[in-house]
Structure 1
Amino acid sequence: MIPTLRSLPDPLALRNHLAGVYDLPFTTCTLLRSLVNDVYELAAPDARYVLKLYRTGGWEPDEILWETGLSAHLAADLPVPRVHLLADGNEVGLLDSAEGRRPFVLSEFVTGTKPRPPFTDDLYSGFGRLVARFHAAADTFSSPNPRRPSDLRRRLDEPLAQIRPFLAAAEENLLLDLANAVRSNIAQYSEELSWGVCHGDVSLDNVLITDDGLALHDFDLSAEGYRAADFTGVAATPHWPAFLRSYREHRPISEADLAAIPYLAVVGRIFNLRFHLIDKPMIRGTESRGEGWADEELAALRRAADDLL
């Protein structure tokens, strides 16, 4: 058999397998999204669920237990999806596939709608309050399981080394200069920067509007890191002042953290470049490099260089 990089389970076969694993009478199984991980919706007569089927070679099962532990910890204070246990009491299952064993987690379905434009300051004010509550709750989280941190080695150094062969000389030099500026800034203020559990993808894509308010989900990128990294996406929107005011009403942000945001935004964009230039073409083909996402990241990095270098 030829080695396989990525397989996609048949929904009907997956439904039947999971019915036994969870001892639940699933009636349907529908693929919602397939990119880094595969996400399915499963329905039973009296409930709906979301299954995340992790890719092989990503998080190890113990690291996913860190993630499910975070979800359980947050659920005491925040509206987040609750993990549903397997029939044997475990939180993480393993599915035999062509490429190897793939971890999976089943969560309860959260009924709500994704925020749609036009976005408002009121929405971002509620979002700021939600993220402040997330950080406050995460401050008291601990786990016996490991999780690789979102430090500069993993988020900046490794991706930069991997994407350099795909860059023109001018782009490579620009990114190297930006990376040096990031390291210099972080080294200078490291003792003043907040470090803790980050969500990893603070955007409205991971928010649902429910009858009880805003709910937060998708902790696949969560890990310990510089907290200011959680503000980089929102800080680039016109609603950042509303978000920041609301966040500060519930939790302080230091001046060092605010000053680090544009530097950590550079880290995030270089990390994203690795995805668009290397990771995504492995599962979507090299034509995906022509979709414009990498070009947008490079354009944003050029603008960042104008401000930071």
Structure 2
Amino acid sequence: MPRYLVGRLGAMVPLIVGTTLIVFVLGRLAPGDPVQILLGDVGDPVTEARARAQLGLDRPLPEQYLRFVGRIVRGDLGVSYAYPGMPVRGMLAEAFPVSLLLSGLAVGAAVLIGVPLGLLAALSPRSLLDRLIRLLTLAGIAVPFFVVAIGLVLVFSLHLRWLPVSGWGRPGHLVLPVLVLGLRPLAYIARITRATLLQVLAEDYVRTARAKGLPPSAVSLRHALRNAVVTIVTTAGLALSLAFTGAFVTETIFGIPGMGRATVTAIFQRDYPVIQAVVMLYTGLFLILNLLTDLGYALLDPRIRYAD
């Protein structure tokens, strides 16, 4: 396992370096002058030159890139252009826990509901229940996040008046965003669980267990589901990444002060330090999630780490 872990960590280094290079280049090619955005209409040529020197924008591009990477390593994400004097790190420190809570609850609910749905569909293939579950999960994958959000708001907030439309701070504010974010991961998990269980149930050792007279529940839970859990864990890890990306739209619609809303606001305000910090943070987050998923996969199936 240590050798497998070192290999996976080594594979992450080129991805991180490539991401820093892409973020740096796009930040320099983006429209608008950062100094003019920072100073607004009050900057004169002398003030602009002084600000450009303070930001290091008057230095050669290779030196700017090395300074950019050095700041990232030190955890210095710069200062917001839209809110002068406000550190980007402080802004993200307030927004990230909100998105983490929202995405974690969404994926947790998706696993708790999606796995039983996939199990029910696999135990009764080609039945009415199986077809209904497949139809609903297909709709959950196909319908965009914003359409689901608008539909839930119309029904539960405007018509029934059960839940608030937007806001943050009370448990009721979590319900609709969690439903929106969790629907697509739930659909993926249910369909993957069904497909994996159908494949496992056709294996020889499952037929042998049935021939020995084991109850159907024991065959399904102790043998089939136990061997299908590797694929389910992998899907759950990918679903968490999907929930984080879906938060961009969901948080904006429901007015939730998370990473998604902060990023959308920064894009409209051309707040490049915030955008760059979000890209780097999400890159690191996705790499960590993939690493944890692979480690869980290797722990559950030793053949993977031995083959590596």
Is TM-score (shorter-chain normalized) higher than 0.5? no
TM-score by length of 1: 0.23
Q: Who wins on radius of gyration, i.e. which is larger?
A: 2
1 or 2, which has the higher strand percentage? 1
Q: TM-score, normalised by structure 2?
A: 0.23
Instruction: Give the structure with the larger helix fraction.
Output: 2
